[in-house]
Amino acid sequence: MDRDLIRKKLSFIETCVRELRELARPDLIDSDIREARFVEHTLQIAVQAALDTAGHIVSARRLGEPRTNRALFDLLQKDGVIDLDLAEALYAMVGFRNVVVHGYQDVDRVVVRDILENHLDDLLSYAGCIRRHLDKG
């Protein structure tokens, strides 16, 4: 397992969260396309970094063959790396990421604001869980 790569990705997640907290203006998401795109893209790349780390750990530990991105978090939860509540929060973020990346539908600005205002700590909790897991050996 490439612990340095994982730590780098975790730092990136933390940087994205910091930038969202410092720079995002939730009140402008509906009226300013630049604001909306900044928030959407920053959330997307933070979630992608979480998926990347999950995939790396699942593969290195041979936890199974995930059929979906969501399954990566299932496998980490079943292995005791993250708890069920966090896994469920991450499932929702993966769904958001899929909408942004694949354009399945228009991005719901209510969902964007909800993540921004209520769920950034989920990304930080994930990073903390993975760091503790790495520190255990």
4-35 pLDDT per residue, tens: 999 999 999 999 999 999 999 999 999 999 99
Q: Which of 75, 66, 67, 72 is nearest to 53 (CA)?
A: 72
- Distance, CA of 128 to CA of 47 (rounded, Å): 15
Lookup: tokens for 114: 């909800």
Element (H, E) at 26: none
Residue numbers in the chain where pLDDT is lower than 70: 104-105, 137
Number of Cβ atoms within 10 Å of the Cβ of 121: 11
Predicted TM-score of the model (pTM) = 0.91
CATH of the structural domain 3-136, one choice from 1.10.150.120, 1.10.287.1080, 1.20.120.580, 1.10.1380.10: 1.20.120.580
The pLDDT assigned to 104 comes to 59
How do the domains of the chain map onto residue ranges? Answer: 3-136
